[in-house]
Amino acid sequence: MYIDAESIITAAKLLGALGTIAGVVVAVYKFVDSDRKQTARIQAIQKEQTLLCYGIMACLKGLKEQGCNGPVSEALNKIEKHLNQAAHDEEVA
């Protein structure tokens, strides 16, 4: 078999097309993997923030028991309302 310029050009086209397809597949895989990792990080942050909210709520309840009213009661009501709404939103989703 004789290798001429036309067969070299055809082989180069084929390799270029295969390289492009492989590049697209790798890019899509990296995007999906990155999105999956980002979702996991966001969920971890949300859990941490929920724990912080419960801690703040406990501190505010302690202050309220000691007789601190006004802004303490208002903040406590807002946090309880927020946590209740967030819990119901999680159940729906």
The domain in which residue 68 lies consists of 5-92
Give me the number of domains the chain comprises: 1
pLDDT digits (tens, 9 = 90+) for 42-65: 999 999 998 999 999 999 999 999
Q: Model confidence at 93, in pLDDT bands (50, 70, 90)?
A: low
3: left (phi over 0), alpha (psi -120 to 50) or beta: beta
Q: How far apart are CA 41 and CA 57, in angstroms?
A: 24
The model's pTM is: 0.66
Q: How far apart are CA 34 and CA 32, in angstroms?
A: 5
State the burial class of residue 60 (Cβ atoms within 10 Å of its Cβ: 0-12, 13-18, 19+).
buried
One-character DSSP codes across 19-47 = HHHHHHHHHHHHHHHHHHHHHHHHHHHHH
pLDDT digits (tens, 9 = 90+) for 19-29: 999 999 999 99
